[in-house]
Amino acid sequence: MKTGKASAERADWDEVHSELLEDQQTAAAYDRVRRAVRLAHELRCARERAGMTPEEVAAGARTSVDVVHKLERGDGSAPVLELVRISAVLDLWIDLRPAESLDGRPPPASSRCPVTTCPLSPEP
């Protein structure tokens, strides 16, 4: 159990975080960033697991290495076609259904990305 200053700081942050997310615009922006970071992490983990360099992924996906780097950092966007090509090179499944269609639930196991060894991946 945490005690002392670190515990108090964590409690303060949790409270601030909760308050900030009560605002719909802030919550929506937070969710967009969270998704971009999640995608970046999944792509990077899959690439590393495949033993590929960003250059090899870019060549296989017929895109630029800059696109791969930006997506892996979570600070870029790419046309869906490029994302689909990258996912094919990395043998990933991309679920493009709107989040609302899932009613806040994770997608069924049959439609989930098979990346399960990364720390940010959902539990199977």
Distance of CA 41 to the CA centre of its chain: 5
H/E stretch holding 49 reads helix 24-49
The backbone torsions φ and ψ at residue 33, rounded to the nearest 5 degrees and listed phi first, read -65, -45
* Per-residue pLDDT reduced to its tens digit, 71-105: 999 887 788 888 889 999 999 987 766 666 555 55
**pLDDT at position 93:** 84
Model confidence, pTM: 0.64
- The mean pLDDT of the chain is 78
**pLDDT at position 4:** 64
Tell me which amino acid residue 10 is. R
**pLDDT at position 97:** 67
**pLDDT at position 119:** 44
Would you state the CATH architecture of domain 16-95+107-111?
Orthogonal Bundle (1.10)
**pLDDT at position 48:** 95
64-91 burial, b at 16+ Cβ within 10 Å, e below that, comes to: eeebbeebbebeeebeeebbebbbebbe
Low-confidence spans in the chain with pLDDT less than 70: 1-11, 96-124
Task: Identify the residue whose tokens are 């697991």.
Answer: 49
Long-range interactions of 47-50: CB distance < 8 A, separation 24+: 47/72, 47/90, 49/115, 49/117, 50/90, 50/91
**pLDDT at position 101:** 58
